[in-house]
């Protein structure tokens, strides 16, 4: 709620009042009643003034101000918005409106009002001071929302697969593959599931439907890990002059035929993609052996790079 003293806001500059004697008289009456401490009477007078001349923004502004003080915030907000639709919008109306938006947690609109003030009056002390508060509050809310999203996702991925209605065959296969949670499940792909004994198309479709209902899919966890790893590698290489290496095709490493085929099976196109994978992921490819792994590691070391190492929890 605004706490501006009445003498600084009554008759705010920038309004577009039409010359209507009846409305004028009622506005003056409302101001007098307000100064006497009669808010109810002032509200009634300003309402009558606005009814007499619906275009009188001075009447709308004063009515909004007193309603705001009286706790009638919804109507006050609507009136302030109406006043600020005029160009140029009154600075005091924009200021009071930004305060109301901030009280409601609508920091985007509050900031917009303040920027409108500062576009015409960059040195407006109160607007500049309040802008700092609004931006700080907005940043805090964004951080809290991001933290809540992360916590929700973690809780979802920690959900046991036994919490879902799966057939006995699918449930048994997942148990034998040591897949306990949704997080475990999205770290593997379709091919890995299908390669397991007794795991068929019907079980695969069943699991895909279950994951889809949760906004998840097979292989998603691994893709997320690769994406994060590529960003981390790029950050480490900044300023070393080696950043460009990550975007070069793996063909520039001049690998053996067997190693190249393994990378094709993993859809690894660039050196950055390769660095985001682990030794275990490469060794999981059929016919990919220790010799090919050593070859790739040596080529990367020559470039000052390496494969991703598994972190705790992966």
What integer is the mean pLDDT of 245-267? 86
Given a cut of 90, whether residue 63 has pLDDT beyond it is yes
> Does the pLDDT of residue 75 top 80, yes or no?
yes
Kindly report the number of other CB atoms within 10 A of residue 75's CB atom: 14
Greater confidence (204 vs 222) lies with: 204
Q: Which domains does the chain have, with CATH numbers?
A: 6-141 (1.25.40.10), 161-213 (1.10.150.20), 243-302 (1.10.150.20)
Q: What confidence category does residue 168 fall into, taking pLDDT thresholds of 50, 70 and 90?
A: confident
Q: What is the mean pLDDT of residues 17-42?
A: 83
Q: Is a pLDDT exceeding 60 seen at residue 13?
A: no
Tell me, what's the pLDDT at 43? 92
Given this model, what pLDDT does residue 31 score? 92
Supply the pLDDT for residue 143: 66
Convert the pLDDT of each residue in 120-138 to its tens digit: 888 888 888 888 888 887 7
Question: What is the C-alpha separation between 282 and 289, in angstroms, rounded?
Answer: 9
Sign of the four-CA dihedral 67, 69, 74, 78: positive
Residue 16 has pLDDT above 60, yes or no: no
Residue 253: both structure tokens together: 């490493």
* Residues 6 or more apart in contact with residue 82 via CB below 8 angstroms: 57, 60
- The span from the CA of 144 to the CA of 259, in Å, is 45
pLDDT band at 192 (very low <50, low <70, confident <90, very high): confident
- The tally of CA atoms less than 13 A away on the side-chain side of residue 143 is 6
Residue 312 has what pLDDT? 47
Question: Is the pLDDT higher at 229 or at 31?
Answer: 31
**Strongest mean pLDDT among 16-25, 189-198, 260-269:** 260-269
pLDDT for 269 equals 86
pLDDT at 171: 85
**pLDDT over 70 at 3, yes or no:** no
User: Which pLDDT score, from 0 to 100, does residue 242 have?
Assistant: 74
| Cα dihedral 176/178/184/187 (nearest 10) | -70
Mean pLDDT, residues 103-123 taken together? 87
Q: Which pLDDT belongs to residue 18?
A: 43
Output the DSSP codes for 7-56: HHHTT-TT------HHHHHHHHHHHHHHHTT-HHHHHHHHHHHHHH-TT-
Mean pLDDT in residue range 162-183: 86
Reference 306, options 296, 237, 314; nearest CA is: 296
Is pLDDT of 9 > 50?
A: no
100-106 mean pLDDT:
85
Q: Give the per-residue pLDDT at 162.
A: 85
pLDDT, position 62 = 92
């Amino acid at each position: 709620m605004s706490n501006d003293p009445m003498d600084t806001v009554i008759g705010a500059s920038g309004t577009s009042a039409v010359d209507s004697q009846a409305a004028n008289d009622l506005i003056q009456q409302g101001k007098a009643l307000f100064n006497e401490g009669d808010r109810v009477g002032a509200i009634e007078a300003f309402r009558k003034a606005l009814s007499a001349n619906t275009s009188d923004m001075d009447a709308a502004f004063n009515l909004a101000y007193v309603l705001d003080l009286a706790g009638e915030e919804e109507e006050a907000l609507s009136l302030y918005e109406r006043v600020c639709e005029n160009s140029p919008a009154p600075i005091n109306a924009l200021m009071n409106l930004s305060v109301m938006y901030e009280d409601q947690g609508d920091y985007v609109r509050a900031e917009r009002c303040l920027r409108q003030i500062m576009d015409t009056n960059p040195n407006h002390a109160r607007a500049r001071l309040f802008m700092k508060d609004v931006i700080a509050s907005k940043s805090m809310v964004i951080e809290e929302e991001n933290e809540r999203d992360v916590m929700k996702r973690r809780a979802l991925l920690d959900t046991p697969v036994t919490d879902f209605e799966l057939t006995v065959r699918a449930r048994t296969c997942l148990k034998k593959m040591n897949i306990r949670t949704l997080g475990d499940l999205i770290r593997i792909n379709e091919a890995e599931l299908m390669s397991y004994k007794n795991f068929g198309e019907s079980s695969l479709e069943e699991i895909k439907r279950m994951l889809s209902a949760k906004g998840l899919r097979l292989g998603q966890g691994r893709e997320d890990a690769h994406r994060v790893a590529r960003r981390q590698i790029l950050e480490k290489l900044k300023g070393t002059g080696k950043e460009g290496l990550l975007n070069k095709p793996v063909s520039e490493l001049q690998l053996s035929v067997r190693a190249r085929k393994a990378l094709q099976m993993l859809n690894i196109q660039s050196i950055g993609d390769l660095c985001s994978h682990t030794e275990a992921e490469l060794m999981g490819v059929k016919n990919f052996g220790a010799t090919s792994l050593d070859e790739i590691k040596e080529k990367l070391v020559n470039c000052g790079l390496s494969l991703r190492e598994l972190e705790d929890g992966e």
